[in-house]
Structure 1
Amino acid sequence: MSRKRVSLGKRLRHCSSVDCVGVQPNWSDYPREVRETIAQSSIVYYPSRLYEDLFRSLGKRVFPQNYYGFMGHKIRQTALFQLLHVPHPRTRLYYGSNRSERIMRDFPFPLIAKNPVGSSQGEGVWLVRTAADLEAYLDKHHPAYIQEYLPIDRDLRVVLIAQQVVHAYWRMAPAGEFRNNVSRGGSISFEDIPQKALDFARWTATVCRFDEVGLDICYAHGRWWVLEANMVYGLEGFRRRGLDIYAVFRSLDEGGAL
């Protein structure tokens, strides 16, 4: 095997400077020369959930940072945004008893309720308008993840890799739908994307140390907000823009960004 940088995941498969060796369920499944290459590498790309903590415990850098641990984990994302003072809709978790009373004391209707871990493509998100809606949500969710409702009809998906904006587009909700997801019938527009929005997304990715992320941001009440960080994001916007995600990675690699 040539002495290249090493990646377990296949994201960098078209980068000539990186060997993509795949994710094996057992360390012993890798050939000896692959194990030696990984052991000698100061950085491992896309190490997978299985091996990320192992490599980090040995002092190795991993790329992307803050990826697997925040993937689909709204609780961790919210805590990170709050810790770093990243503008994020007011959000609280509720455990234990009397959750309905405490939520209605803290939030007016309508409010947003979500699955705290997992779900994507607009699944696991509810617009809660009444106490009955809230009880139906609470009956199936522990803990409750409750967020203030922002009056928007669109949000902006900004994809960043190595803190560089590589793609951005508006997602606009269809009539009668509060979710802007393309998978829920939302439309895409590449027009009139404010530079301030892209600057805000770049700042957010930088302070959060997100090396690869699709940020959903929106403008409300006179400022930009981060709604969510997506480590697994759809590629429909890329396709409509005529972009190849693997070519984007190859370009970034050749430019020294990775």
Structure 2
Amino acid sequence: MRGRPQAGRGGGRVPAAGTAGARLAGGPPGPGGGSVVVGILSRRRSLYTTRRLVESALKLGHETRVLNPLHCFLVLSQRAPEIYYRGLEARVSDLDVVLPRIGASITEHGLAVVNQFDMMGVPLVNNSQPIARSRDKLRSLQLLARAGIDIPKTVMVSDPSQIHRALEIVGGPPAILKVVKGTQGIGVILAETEQAALTVLETFWNLGMNILVQEFIEESEGRDIRALVVGDRVVTAMRRQASVGEFRSNVHRGGTGTVVDLPESYRRVALEAMRVMELQLGGVDMLESETGPKVVEINSSPGFEGLERWTGVDIASAIIEYALSFARSQKRKRKGGA
């Protein structure tokens, strides 16, 4: 991987002056069209993915603003949506494109900020509705299944009397139990027996959580494939392997990865899944089954530290270059409609 500049420059200052909408700074966005200001919604600029996006934008000659969504103040008035940062003196007015990196713990507030930028006419690489869909595992699976994309057989249960039949439908036990909203393998449990499933489900129900019972794909053997999609192409992919004694392959759960030359069938499924979810940037997780790829989840704010480390691909630059191209295309559309 190519050398990286320091991330200390380029973010943090938010101009206090400007119009309510996005002012395209220095000419049309994109390489050769003047400096572009890329906004990154992230709670911490020290996070690997945020830091890499800042570095890549700077390397390409553009500016960045890292904005914590929790410090964004949304102001609404007739035809004049505004965002202020860290108080009501600094109005955010010069962003040419925004990359939302919304953590699951602040989904509701984060999506409100994304919606506000959309109302202000700022191009977004992943808008609020696609992000919200991806955070809801049941809704995601409903959309994917309707589109003919293969998924593990899944049942939503809400009562103990349904557990036995639900396990029969998914071919278990064993079976996978998942909370409808969760990331990084949190809220995902392997139930080896019907009694174990009942105990776990009752615990989750008592906490007011909705639960999915899902088919256990035994032949995947604790592995899955993460395909990183930007725009209409798969930038890179890796096979993730769960650690010993663990069935979840998430890197945050101790999983390891190896670069994989993605078969064309997996590539097609990853791109189609993203199209169905209407996402521009995402990580598509697929299980390797005897019948081909089965999509289990789509992450709309994918971290890529492990992907860059194990594949050597400069994912951050691919994302920034796409964001610049998207901003340029949106500006042309606005000019054409003027």
**TM norm. shorter chain > 0.5:** yes
Asked if 1:50 is matched to 2:128, the reply is no
Q: Is the 8 A contact 2:41 2:98 kept in 1?
A: no
- Please say if 1:251 is aligned against 2:298: no
**Residue 79 (str. 1) matches residue 142 (str. 2):** yes
Post-superposition CA distance 1:158-211 (Å, at most 9, x none): 011223212211112344432222333433221443233223212221232111
CA distance in 1 between partners of 2:93 and 2:251 (Å): 44
User: What is the RMSD of the two structures over their aligned residues, measured on CA atoms?
Assistant: 3.2
The alignment partner of 2:41 has SS state of coil
CA 1:249–1:109 in structure 2 vs 1: closer, same or farther (change >3 Å)?
same
* Structure 2 residue 165 is matched with structure 1 residue 144: no
Residue 163 of structure 1 contacts residue 210 of structure 1 at CA under 8 Å; is this kept in 2?
no
Q: Residue 212 in 1 paired to residue 281 in 2?
A: yes
Please say if residues 84 and 208 of structure 1, whose CA atoms lie closer than 8 Å, have aligned partners that are also in contact. no
Q: Evaluate the alpha carbon distance shift between residue 138 and residue 60 of structure 1 in structure 2; reply closer, same or farther with a 3 A threshold.
A: same
Partner of residue 174, structure 2: 110
Cα distance in 1 for partners of 2:306, 2:66 equals 27
Q: Please tell me whether the aligned partners of residues 123 and 326 of structure 2 are also in contact (alpha carbons under 8 angstroms).
A: no
Moved more, 160-169 or 94-103: 94-103
Segments of 5+ residues of structure 1 without an aligned counterpart are none
**Distance in 1 of aligned mates of 2:258 and 2:66:** 37
The aligned amino acid for 1:178 is F
Quick check: 2:228–2:283 contact (8 Å CA) kept in 1?
Answer: yes
Instruction: Provide the rounded CA distance (Å) in 2 between the counterparts of 1:185 and 1:35.
Output: 39
1:106 and 1:56 mapped to 2: Cα distance?
Answer: 42
Q: Per-residue CA shift, 1:107-136, capped at 9, x if unaligned?
A: 33111111221241x332222121211112
Aligned amino acid, residue 26 of structure 1 = F
Contact 2:238/2:311, CA 8 A, preserved across alignment: no
Structure 2 unaligned spans of 5+: 1-14, 16-22, 26-36, 43-49, 76-83, 102-109, 328-338
Match of residue 3 from structure 1: 24
Matched, 1:124 2:193: no
2:255 is aligned to 186
Mark the CA change 1:36 to 1:207 in structure 2 (over 3 Å): closer, same or farther.
same
Opposite residue 64 of structure 1, the aligned amino acid is N
- Share of identical aligned residues, percent? 22
Q: CA contact under 8 A between 1:6 and 1:37: conserved in structure 2?
A: no
Larger Rg: 2
Q: Is the Cα contact below 8 Å between 1:180 and 1:186 reproduced in 2?
A: yes
Aligned-partner Cα distance in 2 for 1:75–1:96:
17
Of 65, 74, 97, the residue aligned with 1:20 is 65
Aligned length: 253
SS at structure 2 position matched to 1:27:
strand
Alignment correspondent of 1:63: 125
Give, in whole Å, the separation in 2 of the partners of 1:33 and 1:50: 19
Q: CA deviation at 1:99?
A: 3.2
